[in-house]
Structure 1
Amino acid sequence: MLKYCRVTATALCAATLLLSSLSTAVSADDVAGLTSVASQSSVQQTADKLVTILEKKGMTVFNRIDHAKGAQGAGVELPPTQLIIFGNPKIGSQLMLCSQTTAIDLPQKMLIWQDDNGKVWLGYNSPDYLKSRHHIDGCQQILAKVNKALSAFAQAASQ
């Protein structure tokens, strides 16, 4: 497949690889840069709890996307999957000053999904991944603050 991809258009290659991966279950531990926490509740309950926690902590919740509902509208059956998009411009702006390309990954996102075994997960991009991806040099205090907050949000929402 990869040899074929070298000689075809990038978009076609990406689509082919994506489609070929759809039939393979991916463990929460298999996604580079994704910090995952097992949840004790359903996707809906975990997402509800996360939104409540974020709002209590003064975060702006920009959007909540129910991917399973969207897929259903397209005639596709997808296990429960919700994405919560949130942030704090005071912190996000500081990250963007460290490396402006970080803006592609902001605002922050947390994904809550049910795997093929019925287990519910909450995952988010680790700050170390953002540091590596965007070649952030310095800004350790900001990254540590983000890491602490994301971890706390994930732990609280998954209990």
Structure 2
Amino acid sequence: MTTDTEITQALKQLHSQCQTRQLATVDAAGQPDASYAPYVRVAGNYYIFVSQLAAHTQNLLTQKQASIMLIQAEQDAKNLFARMRYTCACEVADVARTEPLFNEMIESMQERFGGVIELLTSLGDFHLLQLSPVSGRLVTGFGKAYEMEKDELLDFFG
């Protein structure tokens, strides 16, 4: 039986190993799109800085929802059919450049990703999006899947 402590450790391990998240979005016609984006996680939310020219950004801005995933690196997995992974359904909000939160998250991104963020911030087509988890699922191996609702996610991440 897996304890809350083991689940918390697995979630933190994935977050520490991954600097990008896989994104699954859909457009207005229901056509799916798979992509990725670098992220920072603050207070239980994920923040991505993405170009309006990208299909996933358009989908996120119009549909206001996404599924995101962190997954164990292939070379670290004992079995490729049972890679540790965390997926969550998220609500999406566009953070305006005039909001204090925008500057706070850009600073966090600069700390994590370096000078490229300054360049991207100078481009007017980039949006800071807040992805707020609604529910999540952690898979740590065969037959080891753990469903989590929003309140539980906050408990696990502290």
Calculate the TM-score normalised by the size of structure 1. Answer: 0.27
TM-score by length of 2: 0.28
Higher relative contact order (CA 8 A, sep 6+): 1
Question: Which structure has greater helix proportion?
Answer: 1
